[in-house]
């Protein structure tokens, strides 16, 4: 199936404006004649000089540059440019000899008498070449600037796509990790025949609604994120009420503050995971907002493991999300000592 190609109207318009400005400049320059009087003169020779200038300009932009300049074959490009500039000097002289000298003989005899009728006049050829060179180099400079801008734009788009893809992957890893823990809690309560199982289902439903419809945004209200944490903590308290000593408190003005969704949950999940792995434990969660700065400190009892501890998948993901979402605007310290694990986060909202 043949694809429909859109006509590049903007590019065509840019080229037309460029050459219109060049023609206007030539008309004004021709009418000035070294006098302090502004004049506008439409010289018939523009009908050949402008197409020649366009020819050498586009040969450079779309032949020499792709063949030699972009692949960094600068010697070949310099030779090609020298030949092209020479052509830009010879062609106007050819048309002057073949068309405009006979034209002056008929329409402007006075000018014809002063005009040299020989073809090979090096000064005239050099002057024609020098006249085309500024336009050629200006067009080349504009082309290089547009290429650089387009490359920068493409790079930003690629980085944005990479960022979105990586963030989506990290969120996709967070969600199953969270639900795995929550479903384990629900499973344990149903085995015990606990009446709290229905409450867990209700809280889980609220959490799923939050994660499906709100946490997909780039930023959410901090108060909603805190409410989400309270729901999660409430579920875990139902499961570990007889084994857990918990303190959760927050302070400061959280109204209207925004934060990346599901950013704080992994710290709390990690605390429950390690503090209650084999025995009773305790967890202390303190969250404080001062101005636009958030302080989160999570401490929990910790049972040393003979296996090397990498702090779990959740904390790995949250560290990467902090790097992507809040570069140079956060401080995170993770420390374990004397049976205590501590996560200390400082974040510019």
Does 15 reside within a domain? yes
Instruction: Please determine, for residue 3, whether its predicted confidence score (pLDDT) is greater than 50.
Output: no
Does 101 reside within a domain? yes
Residue 2: its pLDDT value, please? 45
Count: domains in the chain: 2
Does 260 reside within a domain? yes
Confidence band for 111, pLDDT divided at 50, 70 and 90: low
- Find the angle CA(322)-CA(263)-CA(256) to the nearest 5 degrees: 105
Polymer length of the chain = 349
Give buried/exposed letters for 106-138 (b at 16+ CB in 10 A, else e).
eeeeeebeeeeeeeeeeebbeebbebbbebbee
Does 142 reside within a domain? yes
Q: Do 342 and 199 fall into the same domain?
A: yes
The strand ranges marked E within the chain are: 220-221, 244-252, 258-259, 281-290, 293-301, 330-337, 340-348
The CATH number of the domain where 219 resides is what? 3.30.565.10
Q: How far is CA 140 from CA 61, 77, 137, 204, in A?
A: 7, 13, 5, 62
Residue 41: its pLDDT value, please? 58
Burial (CB count within 10 angstroms: exposed 0-12, middle 13-18, buried 19+), residue 54: middle
Q: pTM for this one?
A: 0.54
| Domain enclosing residue 36, as ranges | 9-155
Q: Summarize the confidence of residues 31-57 as an average pLDDT.
A: 67
**Final residue belonging to a domain, choices 155, 175, 209:** 155
Does 184 reside within a domain? no
Confidence band for 260, pLDDT divided at 50, 70 and 90: confident
Confidence band for 201, pLDDT divided at 50, 70 and 90: confident
In the structure, how many helices (H) and strands (E) does the chain have? 10, 7
- Find the angle CA(36)-CA(40)-CA(42) to the nearest 5 degrees: 140
Does 109 reside within a domain? yes
Q: Which of 256, 52, 60 is nearest to 144 (CA)?
A: 60
**Final residue belonging to a domain, choices 103, 137, 155:** 155
**Pick from 109-123, 177-191, 208-222: least confident:** 109-123
Q: Do 147 and 239 fall into the same domain?
A: no
Range with top average pLDDT, 14-23, 190-199, 219-228 = 219-228
Q: DSSP letter string over 176-232?
A: HHHHHHHHHHHHHHHHHT-TTHHHHHHHHHHHHHHHHHTTTSS-EEHHHHHHHHHHH
Does 176 reside within a domain? no
Q: Summarize the confidence of residues 78-90 as an average pLDDT.
A: 87
Q: Do 94 and 206 fall into the same domain?
A: no
């Amino acid at each position: 199936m043949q694809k429909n190609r859109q006509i590049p109207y903007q590019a065509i318009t840019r080229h037309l404006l460029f050459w219109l400005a060049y023609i206007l400049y030539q008309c004004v320059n021709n009418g000035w004649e070294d006098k302090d009087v502004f004049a506008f003169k439409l010289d018939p020779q523009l009908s050949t000089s402008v197409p020649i200038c366009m020819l050498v300009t586009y040969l450079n932009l779309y032949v020499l540059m792709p063949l030699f300049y972009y692949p960094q074959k600068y010697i070949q490009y310099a030779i090609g440019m020298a030949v092209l500039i020479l052509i830009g000097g010879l062609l106007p002289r050819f048309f002057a000899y073949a068309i405009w000298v006979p034209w002056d003989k008929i329409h402007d005899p006075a000018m014809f008498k002063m005009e040299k009728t020989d073809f090979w006049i090096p000064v005239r050829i050099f002057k024609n070449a020098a006249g085309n060179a500024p336009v050629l180099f200006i067009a080349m400079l504009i082309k290089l600037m547009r290429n650089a801008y387009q490359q920068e734009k493409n790079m930003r788009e690629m980085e944005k796509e990479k960022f979105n893809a990586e963030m989506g992957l990290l969120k996709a890893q967070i969600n199953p990790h969270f639900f795995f823990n929550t479903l384990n809690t629900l499973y344990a309560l149903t085995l015990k025949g606990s009446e709290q199982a229905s409450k867990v289902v209700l809280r889980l439903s609220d959490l799923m609604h939050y994660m499906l419809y709100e946490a997909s945004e780039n930023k959410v209200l901090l108060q909603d994120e805190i409410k989400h944490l309270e729901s999660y903590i409430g579920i875990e308290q139902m499961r570990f009420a007889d084994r857990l000593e918990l303190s959760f408190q927050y302070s400061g003005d959280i109204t209207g503050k925004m934060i990346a969704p599901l950013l704080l949950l992994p710290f709390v999940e990690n605390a429950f995971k390690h503090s209650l792995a084999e025995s009773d434990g305790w967890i202390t969660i303190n969250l404080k907002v001062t101005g636009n700065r958030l302080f989160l400190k999570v401490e929990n009892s910790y049972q040393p493991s003979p296996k090397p501890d990498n702090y779990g998948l959740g904390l790995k993901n949250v560290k990467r999300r902090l790097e992507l979402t809040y570069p140079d605007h956060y401080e995170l310290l993770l420390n374990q000592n004397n049976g205590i694990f501590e996560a200390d986060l400082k974040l510019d909202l």
